């Protein structure tokens, strides 16, 4: 039954918005077939982008009006399609919307017409909650299902026939490298449309680890196949980026140009340059993370798809050798990345790649490397830029050495409440471990995932699991509101996210849509927003990119922690 429910959850249901149909009125016959008429709509709901389909009783040529763009017409010139301009797509409920049309009809007299206004801000896609029958406060199956849907909404490139997101289409089909290499695919990073390889790979590593560790949770939620598809999408892109022995693309798109446009990815017209690291411009951190993602991916797909697994492992080995031989920070080599994902160091990624390669191959040299690159001491916290927590957990699992155990315990002494030493993570009054104002829930969720993994290897299982559950509970609604779009009580409705804020194609999208006060036209199901400030304050506003943006790395550890929590309830 769980599998059936999870399958049903991704099917679109009937649209709640009704098209408005009106006759053309105030018709003025100006002779010789020339006419003027009015299409007047009484709006009963908010309109965020519109299309008006006008059907005339006779062919009409030279149709003019000033409210929109006549984008196409039928072969017989009887049906005309008009979409809004950039500035007038938003129309409010309770108002009257009038379009004056003029044209010339065949037959010598003014035609009659019927017009239908379609609200392009409503896609009719709803994902009903799964009935929770296990007595827990939250349905973890629903969260997992919707989180995977979030990653589907972030897809770039040619979308598959079974694309579950009706408001997303093919995009960025010309992404390429310096020599024309195919760089289509992968995930858009956040609420923007840049592909940043470093955090994308980091997200893929954590998601793949969650599938490796908590496969039973994905199986029980009916999302196992969907999860394989989820991580395969970025893994295939990471492989594409490895265009030479010592050459790896780490970014597609210019952040400044991209952020200067508010629009859906399907409409992008700006240049999308690609940036790479090489032997002369190294990036051990990004390359190490690519290698780690591919190595754990090779483990996950070993039985599912042996050929794909072998391909991943081959690339992982080559990229790791590149990272180890030519050492340096990628954000120094690729300065265009520095303003967005500036790397602090790279030893942690070299250790991270090596330990995952050891897990995939059992070759002792990789373990030797992982230990030599390891950074001793308590970790800042797992993130797209800091892999120390994951390293110590894996190395303790493999070696049982006390120094790794001590580092794990010291890290969580800092993170769990009640500690008094320097380095302790502050807490909000309502119980969130508050590492940073920018994406506060992301760091707490990442460390919740790490705590569950530490518990799996026998370290303070009761204490660590209880704490992890409390942090995930905060995200899901313990404070009286959910921070996951489309889930639970009072969830966010205005995430800072271009595609979900735009109306359906062909209606245009612009900064006017970014400034719209209402909910996003499309629900970005499963997306974890950045989260509250240190005083538990949160404003659901599209303009608030610090607290209300979403990103691939926000959901990665979060989804893993939800899967792990599902198995301990």
Q: Annotated active-site positions, please? A: 496, 540, 549
Residue with tokens 């893994």: 235
Alpha helices in 132-181, H assignment, sequence order:
140-153
Answer whether 316's CB lies under 8 Å from 295's CB. yes
Q: What is the DSSP letter of 244?
A: B
b/e burial code for range 393-417 (CB count within 10 A of at least 16 → b): bbbbbbeeeeebbebbebbbebbbe
Answer whether 271's CB lies under 8 Å from 257's CB. yes
In the beta sheet, which residues pair with residue 104? Answer: 34, 61
Q: What is the DSSP letter of 356?
A: H
Crossing angle (nearest 10°) for helices 140-153 and 552-568: 160
Please give the C-alpha separations between residue 547 and each of 169, 382, 532, in angstroms, as whole numbers.
27, 19, 6
Listed residue (74, 90, 166, 79) closest to 116, CA to CA: 79
Distance of CA 339 to the CA centre of its chain: 20
Residue with tokens 């592909």: 195
Listed residue (550, 458, 527, 467) closest to 150, CA to CA: 527
Please give the C-alpha separations between residue 201 and each of 104, 135, 223, 249, 463, in angstroms, as whole numbers.
58, 36, 21, 12, 30
Listed residue (248, 10, 188) closest to 551, CA to CA: 188
- The C-alpha atoms of residue 188 and residue 197 are separated, in whole angstroms, by 10
């Amino acid at each position: 039954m769980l599998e059936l429910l999870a399958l049903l959850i991704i099917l679109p249901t009937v649209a709640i918005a009704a098209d408005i149909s009106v006759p053309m009125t105030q018709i003025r016959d100006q002779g010789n077939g020339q006419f003027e008429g009015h299409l007047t709509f009484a709006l009963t709901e908010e309109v965020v982008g519109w299309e008006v389909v006008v059907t005339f009783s006779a062919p009409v040529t030279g149709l003019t009006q000033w409210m929109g763009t006549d984008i196409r017409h039928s072969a017989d010139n009887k049906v005309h399609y008009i979409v809004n301009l950039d500035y007038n797509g938003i129309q409010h409920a309770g108002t009257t919307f009038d379009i004056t049309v003029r044209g010339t009809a065949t037959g010598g007299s003014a035609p009659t017409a019927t017009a239908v206004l379609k609200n392009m801000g409503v896609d009719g896609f709803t994902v009903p909650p799964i009935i929770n029958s296990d007595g827990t406060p939250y349905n973890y199956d629903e969260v997992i299902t919707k989180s995977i849907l979030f990653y589907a909404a972030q897809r770039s490139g040619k979308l598959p026939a079974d694309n579950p997101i009706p408001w997303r289409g093919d995009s960025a089909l010309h992404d390429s490298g310096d020599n024309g290499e195919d760089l289509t695919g992968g995930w858009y990073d956040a609420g923007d449309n840049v592909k940043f390889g470093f955090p994308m790979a980091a997200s893929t590593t954590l998601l793949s680890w969650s599938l490796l560790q908590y496969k039973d949770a994905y199986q029980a939620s009916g999302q196992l196949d969907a999860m394989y598809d989820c991580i395969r999408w970025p893994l295939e892109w990471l492989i594409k980026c490895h265009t030479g022995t010592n050459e790896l693309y780490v970014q597609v798109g210019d952040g400044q140009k991209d952020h200067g446009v508010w629009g859906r990815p399907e409409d992008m017209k700006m240049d999308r340059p690609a940036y790479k690291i090489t032997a002369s411009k190294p990036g051990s951190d990004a390359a190490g993370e690519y290698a780690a993602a591919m190595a754990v991916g090779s483990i996950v797909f070993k039985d599912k798809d042996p050929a794909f697994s072998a391909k991943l492992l081959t690339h992982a080995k080559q990229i790791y050798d590149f990272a180890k031989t030519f050492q340096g920070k990628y954000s120094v080599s690729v300065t265009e990345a520095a303003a967005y994902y500036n790397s602090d160091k790279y030893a942690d990624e070299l250790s991270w790649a090596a330990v995952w390669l050891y897990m995939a191959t059992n070759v002792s040299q990789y373990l030797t490397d992982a230990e030599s690159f390891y950074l001793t001491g308590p970790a800042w916290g797992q993130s797209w830029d800091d892999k120390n927590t994951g390293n110590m957990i894996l190395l303790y699992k493999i070696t049982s050495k006390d120094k790794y155990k001590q580092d794990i315990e010291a890290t969580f002494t800092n993170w769990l409440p009640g500690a008094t030493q320097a380095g302790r993570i502050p807490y909000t009054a309502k119980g969130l471990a508050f590492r940073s104002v920018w994406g506060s829930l992301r760091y707490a969720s990442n460390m919740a995932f790490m705590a569950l993994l530490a518990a799996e290897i026998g370290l303070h299982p009761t204490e660590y699991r209880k704490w992890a559950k409390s942090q995930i509970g905060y995200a899901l609604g313990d404070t009286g509101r959910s921070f996951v779009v489309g889930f639970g009580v009072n969830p966010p409705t205005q995430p800072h996210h271009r595609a979900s804020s735009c109306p359906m194609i062909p209606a245009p999208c612009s900064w006017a849509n970014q400034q719209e006060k209402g909910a996003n036209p499309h629900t970005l199901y499963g997306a974890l927003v950045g989260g509250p400030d240190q005083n538990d304050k949160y404003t659901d506003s599209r303009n608030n990119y610090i607290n209300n943006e979403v990103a691939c790395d926000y959901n990665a550890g979060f989804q893993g922690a939800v899967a792990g929590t599902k198995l301990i309830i």
